[in-house]
Amino acid sequence: MIPRTAERLLVLVGLLLFVTGSSQALYSSSDDVVALTTANFDRTVVKSDEVWVVEFYAPFCGHCRNLVPEYKKAATALKGVIKVGGVNCEEEQGLCGQHGVRGYPTIKIFGANKRSPVDYNGQRTAKDIAEAALAEAKKKIKNVLGGGGGGSSSSGGSGSNSGSGSKDDVIELTDANFDKLVLQSEEPWLVEFYAPWCGHCKNLAPHWARAATELKGKVKLGALDATVHQQKMSEYGVQGFPTIKYFPAGTKDRNSAEDYNGGRTSSDIVNWAQDKYTEDIPSPEIVQLTSEQVARDTCEKKPLCVVSVLPHILDCNADCRNGYLKILQEMGDKYKKKEWGWLWTEGGAQLDLESTLDIGGFGYPAMAVVNLKKMKYSLLRGSFSKDGINEFLRDLSFGRGHTAPVKGAELPKIHTVEPWDGKDGQLPVEEDIDLSDVDLDEKDEL
């Protein structure tokens, strides 16, 4: 039988082991997970040229313990390609607080812009973690090849990015003007909630300005000082800086805001906003070419204009014509991200245009795609069908296909015609001629 004093001693030792054991790191030096601390984090992660995946964990956290085998597996799989590390937040509370860690485990990927790591919110499997890390590595490579910024310097890589950006293109928002400018606008908005003292916000500023310039006319970019305008900060649940939210085009309310989850370089912001913009824009209208003004409104500011010449209504009734228009509408929807203009006309209605684009010589329906800036065009040589048109437009979108200069380097006069009424064509009614009142000269027969 153990004496009572010895029993108490064993209990005390057990408690000490439990307490000290709970602060032990989840990864050992033999693992491929690098132990990161306040002393080595800046030098090892932030100032390095490598992409890092970093887990902020607590040894007492059950989810963290469950993650250990998958995280080790990801570290081994990424070895030699991407660095994988871990921070024990029980011992490195200051470091974890600096990176806004509020729960465990928190995984961040330090990619192109080390000062603005990407939060990983995917599945906690080795495969998903590795794929997310590789995706960030690809972004970094793309930024470098494209001449984009995203370095880790305190200037936020603004040297090459701020030159073509203007702060004037970023709209200053306040509690007073927010609803009128953003919520009541028919245009999409990206809004940054920032604090003047925030280092990440300062790094983002030149990228935000450049993105605002590049996106002008498509997506508006605004910035709101949340330390001054705290009503909107509270309304949208802003808890850290910078926080970016997207407000889609059309009627908006408080619940329409979406969290921005892209990168922090100008190219990341532009690409993310472009994708959102093209998702929200409606399919283009397939417009009948009835006047010079219609041609200008539909195609003047477009990169390309798709011009179709459909058979005359007497050769192709309403159902036939609507069948062709349906194909064009489907193609317009498929290629709406290209923001092309789409026109159609009836065969014979715009003969000058047909002659200029060499359309009418081989029958109807026919199609030509015109680049008004370069005054070049390309003809559909295949079938006027969904597959034929798709193949033709796909090649043009990739810069392939035969082109020819527009004759005279200008489009011909567009004639004003009546729009189609949607009905079948009617042959002109022949008038019956009444000859009863007509005097005919009578001649004697020989």
Catalytic residue IDs: 61, 64, 198, 201
Q: Identify whether the C-beta of residue 170 lies closer than 8 Å to the C-beta of residue 209.
A: yes
Q: Identify whether the C-beta of residue 51 lies closer than 8 Å to the C-beta of residue 103.
A: no
Sorted by sequence, the CB contacts under 8 Å of residue 440 that are 6+ apart come out as: none
Count Cβ atoms within 10 A of the Cβ of residue 119 and give its class: 0-12 exposed, 13-18 middle, 19 or more buried: exposed
CA 255 centroid distance within chain: 21
Tell how strand 220-225 and strand 189-194 pair up.
parallel
Q: Identify whether the C-beta of residue 344 lies closer than 8 Å to the C-beta of residue 288.
A: yes
Please tell me the distance from the alpha carbon of residue 309 to that of residue 329, in angstroms, as a whole number: 15
279, containing H or E segment: helix 266-280
Name the token pair of 353: 């245009």
Name the token pair of 238: 């802003």
Please tell me the distance from the alpha carbon of residue 265 to that of residue 199, in angstroms, as a whole number: 15
